[in-house]
């Protein structure tokens, strides 16, 4: 197919030889299958801020660094330059997270290059060599659900040991490759130590996995891995090889009303995003 305008710069730079087809269109980007020499890869083209539905919530962008005070002021004022800076930081967050997590051994697509709002990375494939499906597009046996749930918990732990919380992990952001699940879509990833909302996001990520796989393996619905993982992390005891039990005594202290309200708002936004994703075709 003819290279879309946003991919032409990568063609001109020799990073892409040909564009094979559009793979999918999501809330924040469009993904294309491309050829780079003898390899087939994918190119994620980020949508402009006014053309996508994902809100850059302050919870996600908290503590993300800018280069100087001028950029900080522009972002605070919401000027055109400020919006450009905000967008650049948002896009580079996924690139930074991918490189950081890949180096830590987390199962994420291998990143190759990032140029002018386009991320060139590994194409995750299934056993037939086709583009791997999202978890949401697959039905599992009880045994498969338990296996993949355990596998993804290990990835959550590995990410947290690398100091990263996904922040939007669900059945829509995991691909089922030939050798197991691969975590994708990381522009909303947060620094576990530097973001005050990291715990809440980690618990929500783990809850999303529990609820999805719990459809196939109901015994998972009674587990509390998120609380256990964070308990170990905040005490400096979490390791990649940590053995988890899925049980944890919940804190019975005073209720944080503000946090409860945030959870309600998050639930509403997640449901809206889920409905949107269900409407978007995988091409």
Tell me whether residue 50 is one of the annotated catalytic residues.
Answer: no
Calpha distance 134→171 (Å, rounded): 7
Enumerate residues 6+ apart whose C-beta is below 8 A from 176.
126, 132, 133, 134, 135, 138, 148, 182
Enumerate residues 6+ apart whose C-beta is below 8 A from 259.
200
In 3-state terms, what secondary structure has residue 164? strand
Catalytic-labelled residue, pool 12, 130, 137, 168: 168
Calpha distance 144→94 (Å, rounded): 29
Tell me whether residue 17 is one of the annotated catalytic residues.
Answer: no
Smallest Cα–Cα separation from 105: which of 36, 28, 166, 161?
161
Catalytic-labelled residue, pool 17, 59, 96, 185: 185
> DSSP labels for 32-82?
EEEEETTEEEEEEEEPPGGG------HHHHTT---SSHHHHHHHHHT-HHH
Calpha distance 190→164 (Å, rounded): 6
Angle among Cα 209, 206, 263 to the nearest 5 degrees reads 110
Percent helix, strand, coil in the chain (nearest 5)? 45, 20, 40
Calpha distance 56→85 (Å, rounded): 13
Q: What residues act catalytically?
A: 168, 185
């Amino acid at each position: 197919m003819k290279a879309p305008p946003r991919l032409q710069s990568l063609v001109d730079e020799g990073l892409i030889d040909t564009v094979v087809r559009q793979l999918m269109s999501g809330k924040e980007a469009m993904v294309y299958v491309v050829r780079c020499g003898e390899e087939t890869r994918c190119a994620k083209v980020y949508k402009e801020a006014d053309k996508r539905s994902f809100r850059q919530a302050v919870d996600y962008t908290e503590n993300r660094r800018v280069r100087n005070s001028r950029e900080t002021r522009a972002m605070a004022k919401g000027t055109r330059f400020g919006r450009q800076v905000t967008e650049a930081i948002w896009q580079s967050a996924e690139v930074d997270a991918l490189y950081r997590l890949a180096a830590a051994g987390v199962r994420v697509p291998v990143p190759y290059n990032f140029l002018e709002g386009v991320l060139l990375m590994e194409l995750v494939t299934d056993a037939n060599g086709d583009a791997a499906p999202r978890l949401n597009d697959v039905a599992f046996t009880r045994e498969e659900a338990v296996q993949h749930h355990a596998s993804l918990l290990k990835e959550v732990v590995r990410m947290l040991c690398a100091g990263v919380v996904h922040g939007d992990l669900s059945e829509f952001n995991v691909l089922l490759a030939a050798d197991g699940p691969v975590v994708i879509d990381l522009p909303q990833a947060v620094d576990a130590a530097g973001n005050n909302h990291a715990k809440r996001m980690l618990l929500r990520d783990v809850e999303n996995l529990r609820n999805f796989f719990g459809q196939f393996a109901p015994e998972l619905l009674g587990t509390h891995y998120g609380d256990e993982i964070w308990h170990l992390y905040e005490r400096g005891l979490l390791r990649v090889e940590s053995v988890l039990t899925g049980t944890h005594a919940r804190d019975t202290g005073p209720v944080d009303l503000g946090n409860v309200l945030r959870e309600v708002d998050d639930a509403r936004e997640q449901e809206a995003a889920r409905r949107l994703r269900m409407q978007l075709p995988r091409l």
